[in-house]
Amino acid sequence: MNERIKMDVPAASPLRHDDAAETLRHVRQPLPHDSGRKHVQGTAQYIDDIREPEGTLHVAIGQSPKARGRLISLDVSAGRAVPGVVAVLTADDIPGKNDVSPAFGDDRLFVEDVIDFLGQAVFAVVATNRDVARRAVKLAVMEIEHERPSITVEDALERGETVLPDYAFGRGDANAAIAASPRSLAGQFRVGGQEHFYLEGQVALAIPGEDGDVHVYSSTQHPSEVQHVVARVLDIPDSYVVCETRRMGGGFGGKESQATQWAVTAALAARVTGRPCKLRLDRDDDFILTGKRHDFRCDWSVGFDEDGRIQGYAVELLARCGCSADLSGGVVDRAMFHADNAYWMPAVHVGSKRLKTNTVSNTAFRGFGGPQGMLAAEHVMDQIAWATGRDPLDVRYANFYRPGGNHTPFGMEVEETDTLLGLVQNLERSSDYRARRQEIAAFNASSPIMKRGLALTPVKFGISFTLTHLNQAGALVHVYQDGSVHLNHGGTEMGQGLYIKVAQVVAEEFGIAMERVRITATTTAKVPNTSPTAASSGSDLNGMAARVAAGAIKRRMIAHAAKAYDVPEEQVEFRDDRVFIGNESLSFTELARKCIQARVALSEAGHYATPKITWNRDKATGRPFFYFAYGAACSEVIVDTLTGENRLLRADILHDVGKSLNPAIDIGQIEGGFVQGMGWLTTEELVFNSEGRLLTHAPSTYKIPVASDVPADFRVALYPNANREETIYRSKAVGEPPIMLANSVFCALADAVHSLDPSKAVPLDAPATPEAILRACEALRGRPMG
Amino acid sequence: MTRDAIRFWRHGRVVEVTGFHPRTTLLDYLRLNERKLGTKEGCAEGDCGACTVALGRVRGGRVRYEPVNACILLLGQVDGAELVTVEDLAVGDDLHPVQAAMVARHGSQCGFCTPGIVMSLFALYHEGGRPLDRQAANDALAGNLCRCTGYRPIVDAALDACSAEAGDHFTKASDATVQGLTALADGRDLFIGDAARFFAAPASEDSLAALYAQHPDATLVAGCTDVGLWVTKGMAELDRVIWLGRVAGLDIIEDSDDALAIGATATHAQAYSSLARIDADLGELMRRFGSAQVRASGTVGGNIANGSPIGDLAPALIALDSTIELRRGDATRTLPLESFFIAYRRQDRQPGEYLRRVTVPKLKAHEVFRAYKVSKRFDEDISAAMGAFRFTLDGRRVASARIAFGGMAGIPKRATETEQALAGISLDDPSAWGEALAAIGRDYQPLDDHRASAAYRSTVARNLLFKALSETASGRTDATRLVGGREALEAAE
């Protein structure tokens, strides 16, 4: 096997780019993560590492043992009597509203009456140490009147239960177009969910202050929401709550809305006991108590011509949302927004149902529904290829957005059709797709058991929150009298490198060394009313807001220097930690000091709101996305058709990050996203039993990729392509899009199975576990498994 | 004579700890007592590796560092070892070579798994002095989950830092460390606590036999890779613990011409190469057994004695016709391994009786062995089904067969009907294999669970038999293996 790793990351010099006038010192440099040295020494502090204030108590959650029913009685007296137990909290202890939902009011902190899923929080024990608290929760006695739960999509359809109304959009009469097409196909395709498995589980520490106020340290992607919900539950003003987040040990969407409940529980415990309280979920509890990526059933039908060109496409996206709305409105909307992926569909209908099941409420997960909608589209491309006998890549080419066919099912124009086509053609060449296709066919012809497969799939992903008002950010920058700079903004650091990227922007703006910029923890007390760090928007929004703040300070410093030295403002330049004023120069520090003496303000709050975006959901019109990010991947796999086991042999990725703010960070997002997506589509399988109990509730039973799952031959490159929109240094967002590069792995596995009998379609759902693959193999061999 | 405190080597000096609850984990000791917070809890079940620390022990006259999962290791188990955590690697501002490589390669994103990864690489670094390839780096990292990076930069960091001969401050201190550790090996029994609650670590088999006879309800702990979860997940009280790790001689591996005798407390890491010499498939099975951390703690005896229905090793050892030796008080007895397993999680072991060793007969000239582990994830996973086959050949015929599967019943179990159906069949006539392939369906009625459905298990069992016969017939494996083809392994030998 080939052992080649290629990375387009230069060692020390900036990336070459077409704008020769651009002279940048920090931006575009592959700087290491700002906490890299601390990570490797174990000195980076996570919430559980914060020195506990004297008298800190520990909280454990008491869970419902049934998935659906009513709580008749709860007796926690035995737990209360355990030495070390300080308090037992129930719904009766809540001073404000028993509501920890992000929007729809349907998530309880503790069960009052109705039980919605197995594991739901019913009460909490507060004790002098975590071990005592965890053991004491086992002593509660609950009387529950339970009934048969809804677990599957089919259960929910049968009962007709949803968490939010159905929604659809489209263009023309899709069903008529399909009926009128030369060829048509229809089917059902299932796409599995995914557990976030952030390495740092959910955790919060709440420290009570005076007048009922509270300082909450939370591992959250959304400090403002934690602040708001703590205030709502404790019945205090938002201004009495500070939420602070220095870093998370991973988030991936799992800490967007669902970090809140644990922070609120810790805050309530602090209120009731008057002492600092910490809640850190055990990993199994984290699996059971927090939502996952939505799994979908996609009912699709498509009409096309003999070349595989789509005439009409209709898809019904049936999302299993779990027990409450949470973020399912937006998640399923985004699945709908990406049901086209990169393909022009002249007549199209995209429908959706947000189904309610008695399972934990599914939530945001990197891609936010987009991956599910897109995978269904890729599956349909494969189905067309199998039906027409054409190469799957040619079917994709035949359907790409193109001039004259460049409007999405929701009416937004796809402006960069050239980017998509150029990128895919480029990858087709660099991955040697055609020659390998032939070589693999020859291999498969002579290999009865081992079969190889190849697939090249594109990604087009819309960038912006589809809830328009979230597309704003704030930053706070101070310049101190010694020339050091304090940087704060509303974005949170979950490992994605947001903090270093924004620091690069600020250091660039002031022309100072990175070391002068002190990156500080995100806190609601410095930058208020923030959006979650989500939707890949972190750098786009916060980078801009920080640049606005730094720019405003810089302009005041320029004005002062120009006046003091009597030169035009155009002749003041910040560079190399100095300020050049006409023919003179002084250090950045000296100018800062002079400004303070001259009573010039060196602090600024910057704000940014994304331009151009509009979205009218009722009419399904507008431009929900500022721009699209593009990418493509080509994956080659080998499958053991006796067991379904498989290996990814090689992956080639070409991805569009615009002009990169930091190519090392971006490459890391691309590779990490791809591998995480590969896990979602292969080994990561969530299994609930008929009682609603999650059987895959820990890494021993739920399998995310390990090092050996990464192909030895892994070639990742950035596609040179400046963002045509005015984003921060013409970069593009990179957090979520790479997840969907892994669709190529799924399609390659199906391609390998397809070689067993090219006359048949491959009945393969996601995740393509060895079992799912073997079932598909046996189906093509005409002998059902068993 | 009895000692009432554990003693271990840390930062060049002896640390003594006593008065702890027997179920105290090493991770809780580090985070709650030492307040060393670099070591993280990711899963508390030994699967994610965020809590990885290194233990140094004297082997072959020098200090060997092995990675272990601190979350499921009992504090008492560090007795006699050097304990190294992530805080100990850098000297002032100078990063350790594995740390520097991780930073240079952008090997951390969220950073939470990073301390554990650094410690796995630290152990790999100290194996140094060999050309390291990607496969070896992957093997060393199989027990460390990272959700952010996609591993490529971490593996590159391993290749950068762990190929050369080790030369860090631990290397420089190795003479003193050897002296310190040697002085700790006092051969005394260890007993901390009282009859109601104790952590005991007898130093000899006689002490063990006597103590266990006195406390037959105590929990025997070898590597603690299973019992650790009783504590962290099952909230077991675990009041009386007898740790076997200090029993002199119980970890001895005796390699003779016709058999391999593995002492019950020999770790998987220690037994790995001896088992691999019996057969390449056994070596491949060991390579994929748990993770480096689990292989460094977990023992061959523990894997058998805990009676897992899957127990990756047991089916292979049953197919090889292994026997085990048990002791209770002064009495010992020997029985075939297969008859040790009675029913789900129930074994033929009397109160106060413990496993001494397992004896594995070596393959004879006309015997062919094949073993296959089938799991949802290729590495660091528990089998959905695990099949092991030993064919005794008579020319191009199968004279007799021994077949055992894990994951197909409540215990690791022989396929007796299939074995009978195979007797006398020709390797050159696949059409004659049908009866044996059908017999597997009668030998096993597997269950549905979260790892696989019954239908999948049954199909895989049949297909693995087909694969084993095909490979035996052709003498080749390169067209039937994804990785671990015997030709490549044998070429590498």
pLDDT tens-digit profile of A165-207? 999 999 999 999 999 999 999 999 999 999 999 999 999 999 9
Instruction: For residue B118, list chain A residues with Cβ-Cβ distance below 8 A.
Output: 40, 42
Q: Do A541 and A500 sit in the same domain of this protein?
A: yes
Contacts of A646 in chain B (CB under 8 A): 482
**Measured between CB atoms, does B267 come within 8 Å of chain A?**
no
Residue B485: what pLDDT?
79
Closest by Cβ to A698, choosing from B47, B103, B154 = B47
CB atoms within 10 A of CB A509: 22
A587 and A645 share a domain? no
B488 part of contact set with chain A, CB < 8 Å? no
How crowded is residue B130: how many other Cβ atoms within 10 Å of its Cβ? 11
Return the amino acid letter for B355. Answer: L
pLDDT band at B14 (very low <50, low <70, confident <90, very high): very high
The answer to whether A640 faces chain B, any CB pair under 8 Å, is yes
Using a CB–CB cutoff of 8 Å, tell me whether A128 touches chain B.
no
Which pLDDT value is given to residue A3?
42
Per-residue pLDDT band for A22 (boundaries 50, 70, 90) equals confident
| Co-location of A654 and A561 in the same domain | no
Q: How far apart are CA B32 and CA A52, in angstroms?
A: 11
Instruction: Write down the CATH number for the domain with range B97-167.
Output: 1.10.150.120
SS3 for A138-151, per residue? Answer: HHCEEEEEECCCCC
The reported pLDDT for the residue numbered B484 is 66
pLDDT tens digits, one per residue of B114-134: 999 999 999 999 998 778 999
Q: Would you tell me which residues 190-219 of chain A have a C-beta closer than 8 angstroms to some C-beta of chain B?
A: 196-201
Residue A533 sits at the vertex; the CA angle it makes with A532 and A535, to the nearest 5 degrees, is: 100
> Is it the case that residue A9 has pLDDT exceeding 70?
no
CB contact B103 to A (< 8 Å): yes
Split at pLDDT 50, 70, 90, the class of B493 is low
Q: Do A403 and A285 lie in a common domain?
A: no
Q: DSSP letter for A771, please.
A: H
pLDDT score of A21: 64
Q: Which residues of chain A make contact with B312, given a CB cutoff of 8 A? A: none
Structure tokens at B131: 């050309």
- pLDDT tens-digit readout, A55-70: 999 999 999 999 999 9
φ, ψ for residue B273 (rounded to 5)?
Answer: -70, -35
A444 & A310 share domain: yes
List chain A residues with CB under 8 Å of B90. Answer: 41
> Of the residues A145, A515, A736, A771, which is catalytic?
A736
CA distance linking residue B96 with residue B102, whole number of Å? 10
What's the pLDDT tens digit per position in A546-602? 999 999 999 999 999 999 999 999 999 999 999 999 999 999 999 999 999 999 999
- What CATH number has the domain spanning B367-484? 3.30.390.50
Q: What is the mean pLDDT of chain A?
A: 96
Residue B400: the pLDDT is 98
What pLDDT score was predicted for residue B490? 72
**Least CA distance to B31: which residue of chain A?**
A49
The mean per-residue pLDDT over the stretch A50-59 comes to 97
Classify residue A34: in a domain, yes or no.
Answer: no
Spatial distance between the Cα atoms of B262 and A529, rounded to a whole number of angstroms:
64
Q: A39, A638, A640: which to substitute to probe chain B, counting the most B Cβ within 10 Å? A: A39
Name the percent of chain A lying above pLDDT 70.
97
Instruction: Give per-residue pLDDT as tens, B286-330.
Output: 999 999 999 999 999 999 998 877 778 999 999 999 999 999 999
CA distance B82 to B290: 23
CATH 3.40.605.10 fits B190-243, yes or no: no
Residue type, A50: I
B175: CB partners within 8 A, 6+ apart = none
Lateral strand order in the sheet of B385-394? B367-374, B385-394, B397-406, B413-414
Is there a contact between A672 and B479 if contact means CB atoms under 8 Å apart? Answer: no
pLDDT at position A537: 95
Of the candidates B99, B112, B150, the beta carbon closest to that of A671 is on B150
Give the separation between CA B361 and CA A298, rounded to whole angstroms: 55
Query: What residues in B contact A699, CB-CB < 8 Å?
Result: 42-43, 45, 47-48, 145
Residues A413 and A436 in one domain: yes
Contacts of B481 in chain A (CB under 8 A): 640
Instruction: Convert the pLDDT of each residue in B76-103 to its tens digit.
Output: 999 999 999 999 999 999 999 999 999 9
Q: Does B38 touch chain A (CB under 8 A)?
A: yes
Nearest to A669 by CA among A110, A33, A11, A131: A33
pLDDT digits (tens, 9 = 90+) for A701-712: 999 999 999 999
Q: Do B142 and A676 touch (CB under 8 A)?
A: no
CB A637 within 8 A of CB A745: yes
pTM of the model: 0.97
Domain residue limits at A484:
472-609
Is the confidence at residue B182, as pLDDT, over 50? yes
Q: Is B110 on the interface with A (CB under 8 A)?
A: yes
Query: Given an 8 Å threshold on Cβ–Cβ distance, is A447 in contact with B118?
Result: no
ipTM over 0.95: yes
Average pLDDT of span B394-404 = 98
> Whole-angstrom Cα distance, residue B41 to residue B31?
9
B residues 144..173 contacting A (CB < 8 A): 144-156
* B99 neighbourhood in chain A, CB within 8 Å: 37, 40-41
Nearest residue in A to B24, CA atom: A131
Selected for mutation to probe chain A from B41, B69, B86, B110 (highest A CB count within 10 Å) is B110
A-B C-beta contacts closer than 8 Å: 272
For residues B466 and A192, give the distance between their C-alpha atoms in angstroms, rounded to a whole number. Answer: 32
Within B215-252, where are the H helices?
227-232
Q: Per-residue pLDDT for A17 more than 60? A: no
Provide the shortest C-alpha distance from residue B52 to chain A (in Å).
12
- A513 in contact with B, Cβ within 8 Å: no
pLDDT tens for residues A537-549? 999 999 999 999 9
Q: Where are the domains of chain B?
A: 97-167, 190-243, 253-361, 367-484
The answer to whether B482 contacts A640, with C-beta atoms less than 8 Å apart, is: yes
Same domain, A682 and A572: no
Chain B residue numbers touching A32 (CB-CB < 8 A):
103-104, 106
Q: How far is A782 from chain B (nearest CA, A)?
A: 14
| A275 shares its domain with A304 | no
Chain A contact present for B91, CB below 8 A: no
Q: What is the pLDDT of residues B30-39, one digit of tens each?
A: 999 999 999 9
Domain boundary among A574, A609, A644: A609
Nearest to A250 by CA among A666, A533, A540: A533
Looking at the fold, whether A600 and A690 belong to one and the same domain comes out as: no
Three-point CA angle A117, A118, A123, nearest 5°:
95
Cβ pair A289, A122 in contact under 8 A: no
Q: Are residues A676 and A714 in the same domain?
A: yes
Type of residue numbered A115: I
State the average pLDDT over residues A395-406: 97
**Which chain A residue is nearest to residue B455, measuring alpha carbons?**
A786
Same domain, A252 and A353: no
Mean pLDDT of chain B: 96
CATH of the domain at A361: 3.30.365.10
User: Using the beta-carbon criterion (under 8 Å), do B142 and A642 form an inter-chain contact?
Assistant: no
- Domain edge (last residue) among A289, A306, A323: A289
pLDDT for residue A525 is more than 70: yes
Mean pLDDT score, A696-704? 97
B284 lies within 8 A of chain A by CB? no
Domain B253-361 has CATH 1.20.140.10: no
Q: What is the largest CA-CA distance in chain A?
A: 89
Are the beta carbons of B77 and B199 closer than 8 angstroms? no
Give the Å distances, CA to CA, from A93 to A80, A88, A333, B31, B378: 15, 9, 37, 32, 48
Q: Among A11-15, A105-109, A213-217, where is mean pLDDT lowest?
A: A11-15
The 10s digit of each residue's pLDDT in A316-349 is 999 999 999 999 999 999 999 999 999 999 999 9
Residue indicated by tokens 């209709």 = A314
Alpha helices in A143-245 (DSSP H): 153-159, 174-180, 223-234
Residues B250, B264: Cα–Cα separation, whole Å: 6
Which residues 346-385 of A have a C-beta within 8 angstroms of B?
A: none
Query: Please, which residues have CB within 8 angstroms of residue A587's CB and are 6 or more apart in sequence?
Result: A483, A577, A578, A579
pLDDT band at A13 (very low <50, low <70, confident <90, very high): very low
For residue A74, is it within any domain?
yes
One domain, residues A510 and A449: no
Q: Which residues contact A453 (CB under 8 A, 6 or more apart)?
A: A440, A636, A637, A638, A639, A748, A749, A750, A751, A752, A753, A754, A755
pLDDT band at A14 (very low <50, low <70, confident <90, very high): very low
Domain boundary among A609, A633, A664: A609
Which of B87, B110, B375 minimises the CB distance to A494? B110
- At B404 the three-state DSSP class reads strand
Residue of A nearest to B117 (CA): A40
Q: Is A736 a catalytic residue?
A: yes
Q: Which residue has the tokens 């009675």?
A: B342
Q: What is the total count of domains within chain A? A: 3
Per-position b or e across A358-375, b if 16+ CB within 10 A of its CB: bbbbbbbbbbbbbbbbbb
